[in-house]
Amino acid sequence: MHLVQILLPLAAPDGTRLPQALFDAVRQELVDRFGGLTAYTRAPARGLWDDGGGVERDDIVVYEVMVDQLDRPWWAGYRAQLCARFRQQELVVRAHVTELL
């Protein structure tokens, strides 16, 4: 089993807040495809990275789903779609092998 996490920025690269409808659509897509999700939206997480010219920052929310099989081509295509929708050069979509206890 895999835990797939999607880190979504709250703002576009120019700093404008992204519309709630974008997040609602992703939530519905994931529920429709995987039967549920967990969304960490209460207190945005903060992502920091050095882009070579200084430290950049994003406030993010995290959506995660559990899947039995990891369909890498589907996830790569979905990540590309999300990059376009959220106006990002890159988005983190990561998978962790997990075991239910």
> Where do the domains of the chain lie?
2-97
User: Does the domain made of 2-97 have the CATH classification 3.40.50.300?
Assistant: no
Torsion sign, CA atoms 28, 42, 99, 8 = positive
Name the β-bridge partners of 59. 46
Q: What is the pTM of this model?
A: 0.85
Report residue 52 as tokens. 């070579």
**For position 6, what pLDDT does the model report?**
96
**For position 13, what pLDDT does the model report?**
86
Yes or no: say if 62 and 5 are a contact pair by the CB < 8 Å rule.
yes
Q: What is the pLDDT along the chain (101 residues), one digit of tens a residue?
A: 999 999 999 999 888 999 999 999 999 999 999 999 999 987 666 665 566 776 666 788 999 999 999 999 999 999 999 999 999 999 999 999 999 89
